[in-house]
Structure 1
Amino acid sequence: MTHDAGKTALDMVYAAETETELADAYAAWAAAYDSETAALGYLLPFLIAAWVARHVPKGEGPLLDAGCGTGLSGPSLKALGYDDLTGLDLSQEMLDIAGSRQCYGELKLAALGGPLPWPDGHFRAFLSTGVFTSGHAPASSLDELVRVTASGGHAIFTVRDTVLEAGGFQEKFAALEAAGKWLPVEASPPFRAFAVGEPDVLVKAYIFRVV
C-alpha cells in the first residue's frame, strides 16, 4: 500500500472507506504502529486497564480485547492479574505482533460489524479502545459484542466524539438499554486519546453492565 504524499499512517486509517482499505492501512502501519503511537502519547490501550480493574474482578472468566491491534493492552491487563485474554482484529499483521507479547491465549482474525465466532455469553467482559472512531467499526458491532458477553458482565469501550452522534452510537446505546440488553454504569468526560499529538482527537469511555 502506498501512502499519499503528506498523509500520516493515522490519516490513512481515519480516511479508510471500506473494510479492505482499513485492513490494508493497518497492515502497512503494523511494524511502526507501536513506536509511532507512543510518540503521539497514545493513552487508550493502557488507560482502559484501569476501567477493567474497577469493574471486573480477576479470575471470573475470559476477556475479549475487541480490535486489539498489536496487543498494547495485553501487558497492562496481564500485570493486573487478567491472564485469560482473547484478542480480535481485522489485520493479521497486527495480530502477529499481539501474539509476540505472549499475553493472549487466543487470537482471532475477524472484523467487527459482522458475526463473531463465539457462543452467547462466552466472555466475562469485552474491552475496546480506538475502534469506535472515524472509518472504523460501526455502532452495530455492539450487538454482537453484547451477545458474546455473559449476563452480569461488562462492556468497556471508548468512542470518538465525532462519531458519537453521527455514527449512531448514542442511538445504539439507547436501543440496547430499551431492549433490556444492558444498563449504563459509567461514562467519562471527553478526554484526549493522545497526550502529545493530535489534540483534536477526543474520546469518551463508556461502561455498561450486560443484562
Structure 2
Amino acid sequence: MSADEASDALNQVYAAKSEAELAVAYAAWSNGYDRETAALGYCLPFVIAAWVARHVPVEAGPLLDAGCGSGLSGPYLAALGYQDIDGLDMSSEMLALARGRGVYRNLVEAALGARLPLADGAYAAVLSTGVFTEGHAPASSLDDMARIVRPGGALIFTVRDSVLDKGGFRAKFTELESAGRWARIEESPSFRAFAVAEPAVTVKAFVFRVRQP
C-alpha cells in the first residue's frame, strides 16, 4: 500500500463520529495497520518510551498501555527493562495483534472515556499515545486514568495540537490540578506524529504526577 492509501485509512479513522464507527474503522484497518502506519512514519508508539524511561523507574511496578492498539509500544518498553505491562484497547482485533507481541501481561477490551474495569491505584504509570486526537478518546478520559495510577505514579500521554483547546484538554488539565489530583511535570514542544507523511499532524507529550487523594 502506498503512503497515500495508508493516509486514506488514517483519515477514515479520524472521520469516525462515534465509538462504534471508530471500532469498525480500526477493525477494518487492523490487518494492515502496522505495515501502513510504518509507511507513514508513525513514531508515537516508539518515542513515548523515552518519557516513560525518564520518569518511571524500571522497578516502580506495573504499567498500563492505554489505547495500546496493535501493541507497538510493548516490545520497546520490554527492551528497556519494564516487565509487567498491561494493554487496554476498544478493538478486539487490535488486541489480538497486541497479544501476538508476547510482552503484555494482561489485555483488557475497554474504551477510554467511561469507568475502566481496573482497580484504583493499580499501576505505577499509565501511558497513552495517539488516542487523544481527532474523533478519538475525550478529555474526560483523564479522570479515570488518574484514578488507576497509584499516588506518586505518572500519567504520560500525547495530545494532538488541534484538540488541545477545542477538545477541552487544557481545561481538564487545570481542573485536575486545581482539585489536587495531579501536578504537571513536563510538557514537550510540539512535534510531528508522522516522520514521513501527514506533516500537519503535530502533538505534545505531557507528564503528570498523581497526588494522594
Q: Same fold (TM over 0.5)?
A: yes
Alignment of 1:1-211 (within 5 A): 8-211=8-211
Amino acid in structure 2 at the alignment position of 1:39: A
Query: Match of 1:91, as an amino acid?
Result: S
Distance in 2, matches of 1:162 and 1:56, equals 28
Query: Aligned-pair distance for 1:61?
Result: 1.0
Residue 32 of structure 1 and its aligned partner are, at CA, apart by 0.3
Question: d(CA) in 2 for partners of 1:182 and 1:7?
Answer: 36
Residues of 2 paired with 1:6 and 1:197: CA distance?
10
- By how many angstroms is 1:7 displaced? 7.4
SS of structure 2 residue aligned to 1:189: coil
Unpaired runs of 5+ residues, structure 1, are none
**Superposition deviation, residue 60 in structure 1:** 1.6
Is the 2:90–2:110 contact (alpha carbons within 8 Å) kept by the matching residues of 1? yes
Conservation of the 8 A alpha-carbon contact between 2:14 and 2:136: yes
Aligned length: 207
Deviation at 1:118, TM superposition (A): 1.1
Gap change, CA 1:148 and 1:194, over 3 Å in 2: same
**In 1: Cα distance, 2:73 partner to 2:99 partner:** 12
Give the distance between the partners of 1:120 and 1:103, measured in 2 at CA: 23
TM-score, length-normalised on structure 2? 0.95
For 2:8 and 2:32, locate their aligned partners in 1 and report how far apart those are by CA, in whole Å: 12
Counterpart secondary structure, 2:60: coil
2:6–2:37 Cα contact (<8 Å) kept: no
Q: Which amino acid aligns with 1:43?
A: C
- Which whole-Å CA distance do the structure 2 matches of 1:7 and 1:57 have between them? 36
Gaps of 5+ in 2: none
With over 3 angstroms needed to count, the CA separation of the structure-2 counterparts of 1:8 and 1:181, relative to structure 1, is same
| RMSD of Structure 2 on Structure 1 (CA) | 1.2
Letter in 1 for 2:43: L
Shift in Å, 1:6 = 11
Counterpart residue type for residue 52 of structure 2: V
Report the identity percentage. 64
Distance 1:32 1:6, change over 3 A: closer
**Distance (whole Å) between structure 1 residues aligned to residue 152 and residue 50 of structure 2:** 19
Structure 1 position 74, deviation (Å): 0.3
Cα offsets for 1:39-92 (capped at 9, x unmatched): 111110000001000000012211010000000000100000011001000000
